[in-house]
C-alpha cells in the first residue's frame, strides 16, 4: 500500500500554512499550459525552422531571430512553473505516505529543474541564436564551417530521446499513483497515471512516433488543467475537522 485512504466525511491534515503553496501550484499549472498553447499557436502560425542542415537553420534564425527566441522560451520556461506544481502536489500528498511523496516530489521537481541544463528544447535551442550571430559575422569559410557543425550537433540532440523527458513523465506517474490513495479525485489520479505511462513510452520513442507523440501532449494538457483547478480549490480543514481527523 502506498498510504492510507481518506475516510468519508474526514478532512486530511492540509495545514493552513501550505495554502499559499497550493494556490501557487494551481496558478503555475495554468501558466504552464498557457505557455505551451502559445508555443503551439506560434508553431502553426509561423514558418517552421528547418529540420536538417546546419547552415539552413543558422540562416533561418538570422532572418527570424525574434520569433525563434520567443518559441524557444515558450517551450523552456514552463519547466520553472512545473517545478512549483510538482512541489505543491508532493506537499499536499505527504500525509498519505511521506516517504513516497518525498521520492516522487524529488524526481518530479529535479526533472523539470535539469531541463534548463539540457542544450535543446525538442524544437531547437537558444544556443543556436549565438551560433547564428557568429556565423553571420564570420570572415572565413573555415569559421563558418565550425558554427555550422555546432548547429548540426544541436539539431541531432533535438532528435535524441532524453533521459530528462523520461524522468519528467516518471515523476507524473509516481505522483499520480499516490493520488489514487486520496485527497484528489480518483479520475484525476487515473488520468495522471495514463499521462505518465504513455509519456514514458512517448519520450523513449519520440524520434519514431511522429504525430502520435501529440497524444502524450494532449494528455499532459488535460492533466495540468485539472491539477490547476484542484490545487487552487484545495483548502485546509476547519478547526473541528482538523480535531476529528486521525493522526
Residue 177 burial by Cβ neighbours in a 10 Å radius (0-12, 13-18, 19+) = middle
Task: Please tell me the distance from the alpha carbon of residue 227 to that of residue 221, in angstroms, as a whole number.
Answer: 10
Tell me, yes or no, whether 6 lies in a domain: no
Tell me, yes or no, whether 57 lies in a domain: yes
Q: How many domains does the chain have?
A: 1
Predicted local confidence at residue 161, as pLDDT: 63
Asked whether the predicted pLDDT for residue 208 surpasses 90, the reply is no
CB of 241 closer than 8 Å to CB of 11: yes
Tracing cell 502559445 back to the chain, one arrives at 38
C-alpha distance from residue 35 to each of 76, 105, 132, 223 (Å): 9, 23, 25, 15
Computed over every residue of the chain, the mean pLDDT equals 83
Asked whether the predicted pLDDT for residue 244 surpasses 80, the reply is no
Tell me, yes or no, whether 8 lies in a domain: no
Tell me, yes or no, whether 219 lies in a domain: yes
Predicted local confidence at residue 235, as pLDDT: 66
Residue with the bigger pLDDT between 139 and 37: it is 37
Q: What is the pLDDT of residues 192-204, one digit of tens each?
A: 999 999 999 988 8
Predicted local confidence at residue 8, as pLDDT: 36
Tell me, yes or no, whether 131 lies in a domain: yes
Residue with the bigger pLDDT between 124 and 11: it is 124
Tell me, yes or no, whether 244 lies in a domain: no
Asked whether the predicted pLDDT for residue 79 surpasses 70, the reply is yes
Tell me, yes or no, whether 97 lies in a domain: yes
Give the domain range for residue 86. 16-234
Average pLDDT value for residue range 205-228: 86
Tell me, yes or no, whether 243 lies in a domain: no
Query: What is the model's pTM?
Result: 0.80
Amino acid at each position: 500500500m502506498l498510504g492510507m485512504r481518506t475516510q468519508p466525511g474526514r478532512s486530511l491534515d492540509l495545514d493552513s500554512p501550505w495554502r499559499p503553496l497550493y494556490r501557487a501550484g494551481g496558478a503555475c499549472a495554468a501558466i504552464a499550459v498557457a505557455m505551451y498553447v502559445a508555443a503551439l499557436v506560434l508553431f502553426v502560425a509561423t514558418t517552421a525552422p528547418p529540420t536538417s542542415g546546419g547552415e539552413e537553420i543558422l540562416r533561418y534564425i538570422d532572418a527570424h531571430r525574434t520569433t525563434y527566441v520567443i518559441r524557444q522560451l515558450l517551450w523552456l520556461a514552463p519547466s520553472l512553473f512545473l517545478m512549483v506544481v510538482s512541489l505543491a502536489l508532493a506537499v499536499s500528498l505527504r500525509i498519505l505516505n511521506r516517504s513516497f511523496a518525498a521520492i516522487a516530489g524529488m524526481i518530479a521537481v529535479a526533472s523539470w529543474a535539469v531541463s534548463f541544463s539540457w542544450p535543446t528544447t525538442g524544437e531547437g535551442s537558444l544556443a543556436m541564436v549565438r551560433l547564428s550571430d557568429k556565423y553571420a559575422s564570420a570572415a572565413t569559410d573555415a569559421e563558418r564551417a565550425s558554427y555550422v557543425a555546432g548547429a548540426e550537433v544541436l539539431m541531432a540532440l533535438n532528435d535524441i530521446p532524453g533521459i530528462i523527458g523520461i524522468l519528467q513523465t516518471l515523476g507524473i506517474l509516481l505522483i499520480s499513483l499516490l493520488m489514487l490513495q486520496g485527497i484528489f479525485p480518483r479520475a484525476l489520479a487515473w488520468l495522471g497515471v495514463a499521462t505518465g505511462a504513455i509519456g514514458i513510452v512517448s519520450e523513449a520513442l519520440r524520434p519514431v512516433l511522429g504525430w502520435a507523440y501529440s497524444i502524450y501532449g494532449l494528455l499532459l494538457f488535460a492533466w495540468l488543467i485539472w491539477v490547476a483547478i484542484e490545487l487552487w480549490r484545495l483548502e485546509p480543514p476547519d478547526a473541528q475537522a482538523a480535531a476529528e481527523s486521525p493522526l
